Amino acid sequence: MSKIICSAAIRGAHKIVDMAEERYQAALKKYGPEQEVAFPNTAYFLPIIYSMLGAKVEKLGDMGDIFTECRKLLPEQVSENLWLPYLAPALDAGMATFFAEEMFEAVRYLEEPNFYTKTEDPLADNIWLGAADDVIFRKRGVEFVDGTAPGFAAIMGSPADPEMASKIALELQEKNLYIFMHDQTGGISMPEQLVKQDVQIGWNTRLVPFGKSYSTAVFAIGFACRVAMAFGGIKPGDYKGNLIYNKDRTFAFVMAFGPVSDEWYANAAGAINWGFPTISDYDIPQVLPTGICTYEHVVSQVPHEEIVQKAIEVRGLKVSVTKIDIPMSFGPAFEGERIRKDDLFMECGGGRTTGVEVLVSKEMDEVEDGKITVEGPDIQEIEQGQNLPLGILVEVAGREMQSDYEPILERQFHHLINYIQGLMHMGQRDIMWLRIGKAAVEKGFSLSHIGKVLHGKLHQEFGAIVDKIQVKIYTTQEKVDEVMELAKSVYEGRDERLGSMTDETEEVFYSCTLCQSFAPSHVCIITPERIGMCGAYNWLDGKASYQINPTGPNQPIPKGECLDPALGIFQGINEFVDQASRGAVTDLACYSLMNSPMTACGCFEAIAAMLPQCNGIMVVNRDYMGMTPSGMKFTTLAGMAGGGAQTPGFMGVSKHYLTSPKLFLAEGGLARLVWLPKMLKEEIKDKLIERAEAAGLPGFYDKIATEEEGTTEEEILEFLKKVNHPALEMESVV
């Protein structure tokens, strides 16, 4: 490895450790060793230190031992006369750098609590977000294992030209990567360059401004460490497992702009430990042989026009991007883009106009593949602010197409339209809402481009069942009303078909092992009355997925003999789970929280937990950040319920399952539900009231406590007694 690079990295590491320890000593003198320190709202402590050393840094005094470890790792400064292999010492120096920087940033949170926004999106007066909390991490981290986001680019500094900065960011987004931004080049930062170009930054667009100093690189590396622990089953302290997991699974790299300081070299050396190479536009020595990284370790003097492609090549990332022939960029990175009032050209649906979207299956000779028609005014024919009614009718035909698949394909409209840069789509069916931004119109957007996206992507994703697709888009009230009439009859038929299905009417359930890559013993069982705990897969989705990919993660399971109808124990399910979990799980009760409950990965929408004093069950969703009556926040509960282990009394669930007749059937059903966060309770209010009435529990909705009634079991028990909650009269299950 280059002596120049390694010498600089070791020098930089010494500077950083000295700087961090100086700040630590000052804080220790001011606050004392018992002062708590932490990154906000995380169960992973200081994640790099926790993952590499297994050490929980919770107080200032805990940092002393870590600084001792840093000093052990730091090699001596490289002299002019010393010629040795430098790779190992440089890597040690890089690791010491990250340990020191994590502690430096933890002290910063203590001394400057408002230095970072601690939000998902920048604020008007502060663009620097700081470390991702566990709510953000759980929401985004799973994308690094399910393929939605293959990795991230950790950007140090920025190109001087705002237009070039925007172009590079856009190209990275189109590769579905997250872009983590740090530090400055000559006082210029990447996020500020993007804002100048009216580019939205924040977690929703995958353009994440972590911090304005090089030390915030630990927020990116720490995120990768948490992915390995949360979704890869890597234990804290298993440094080798964590490093190998990230090298093989998290396709990340460092992209450095401008002169490279000793401190940047030290951070680059740290990143190489994880297999993350550095690609630079500056004239620095290169490290081309392979070793720790998949290919080269450091590549320099790369022109800005080529730097993204070079980074992809060096990291060994196989990105498959099918170009959709539209003038706007397209990809998952734009799914969270918002079209605000000042950016708005026009909108359809959402109560402003009539809006409806529907997909129907037809006979083969009734569909002309690739035919896209727009009947009525198109975008270029109207003035800004002239809203239009909108009807989107997609007609498909296929030898393997079935009517049960229609809602599955139709559900793709939401994210596929959102993938178009400059468009924002909300809702579905006849409550859809489309906003079109000025920037998209300026690039030549036409409503026909929605048709091109739907045609191309539905073919790609559902080619096994769909042979022909045609798209009809209407913007005249008369034609939209016709589509609305057709759609309502289709919706009604679907609801009847789906609503009439029960676990008893179907002899086959479906598995989902999509998350076994990070929870090897987890097997999700999807039934007509129990949607997958991630909220993304229902029984029909499992059926369609199997049809599309017979060897994929969704396999049909003949449920076999029912061994216990209350617990939901089936012979066929047990045999499948035993085999699919490789013997880790041998018995599964589909309807119980307390007896052989279903395992969970880490993607669940919510967690159910028993409250013994209340003789009932609470459910908390991942967006709720406060304390729960169990004495644990969501992040702590996630550690109890996830990882593929069966933990009686704790179980991952979807929001939809809370209104299922099979909810906690073994424990007495809905009547056991005693506490929900207010946001979740209100979100499912109508369905919850309907389900309670069907279960013979009139007025039950008002008997469910929220955080307004209390966050301890004692407080909840007092409320339950006051409202005469039925759980108090039920048999104890503890």
Q: What architecture (CATH level 2) is domain 3-315?
A: 3-Layer(aba) Sandwich (3.40)
Task: Give the CA count within 13 Å in the CB-facing half-sphere of 485.
Answer: 6
Q: In the structure encoding, which two tokens stand for residue 561, read together?
A: 């003999």
Class of domain 332-485: alpha beta
Q: Interior CA angle at 389 toward 388 and 390, to 5°?
A: 110
Kindly tell me if the per-residue pLDDT of 626 is higher than 50: yes
Question: What pLDDT digit, counting tens, does each position of 415-436 carry?
Answer: 899 899 999 887 677 778 899 9
Q: How confident is the model at residue 320 (pLDDT cuts 50, 70, 90)?
A: very low
pLDDT over 90 percentage in the chain: 69
Three-class SS state of 476: coil
Higher local confidence (pLDDT), 148 or 93? 93
Kindly tell me if the per-residue pLDDT of 407 is higher than 50: yes
Distance separating alpha carbons of residues 688 and 340, to the nearest angstrom:
33
Distance separating alpha carbons of residues 160 and 157, to the nearest angstrom:
9
Would you kindly state where each structural domain of the chain is located, as residue ranges? Answer: 3-315, 332-485, 508-729
User: What is the largest distance, in Å, between two alpha-carbon atoms of the chain?
Assistant: 86
DSSP at 350: B
Please name the amino acid found at residue 423: L
First to last CA, the chain: 61
Q: In the structure encoding, which two tokens stand for residue 643, read together?
A: 């990882």
The reported pLDDT for the residue numbered 560 is: 94
Distance separating alpha carbons of residues 293 and 315, to the nearest angstrom:
8
CB 695 within 8 A of CB 670: yes
Mean pLDDT of the chain: 91
Taking CA atoms, 1 is separated from 95, 257, 315, 541, in Å, by 17, 21, 18, 51
**Tokens 């009517």 label which residue?**
403
Question: Is the sign of the CA dihedral 205, 206, 207, 210 positive or negative?
Answer: positive
Class of domain 508-729: alpha beta
Domains 3-315 and 508-729 in one fold? no
Kindly tell me if the per-residue pLDDT of 563 is higher than 80: yes
pTM of the predicted protein model: 0.62
Higher local confidence (pLDDT), 340 or 408? 340
The reported pLDDT for the residue numbered 518 is: 60
Q: Is 24 exposed, middle or buried (0-12, 13-18, 19+ CB in 10 A)?
A: buried
Q: Is 76 exposed, middle or buried (0-12, 13-18, 19+ CB in 10 A)?
A: exposed
